[in-house]
Amino acid sequence: MPFSAIFEYTQIINVPLTIEYFYEGEKMEDPATFFENNPGVFELFFPSPEEILDMINKKALYFQTHKLVISEFGFHLIHL
């Protein structure tokens, strides 16, 4: 599953999600462009798309109180 499919998936959920992507300690302001310009980084360093979709589904339960942060080190639910 390509990275763009994760973006598409989050758009069809009726629950607003706050998802931030970090790489090497830096927040990505435009993750789609970053991964497009750096092919292979997403597949090599980040959790699998299936794991990310699973975490998004879990995050949907906490959308009012937490944001989901995804990095090459895994997932973090951050209290808003």
Cα 70 to Cα 67: distance, rounded to the nearest angstrom: 10
Query: Residue with structure tokens 């998004």?
Result: 56
| pLDDT attached to residue 53 | 82
The distance from CA 44 to its chain's CA centroid, rounded to whole angstroms, is 15
| pLDDT attached to residue 69 | 87
pLDDT of the chain, 80 residues: tens digit per residue: 566 677 677 677 766 667 889 999 999 999 889 988 998 898 889 888 888 888 888 877 777 788 888 888 888 878 88
Amino acid (1-letter code) at residue 28: M
Backbone dihedral angles phi then psi of residue 71, each to the nearest 5 degrees: -140, 180
b/e string for 63-75 if b means 16 or more Cβ within 10 A?
Answer: beebbbbbbeeeb
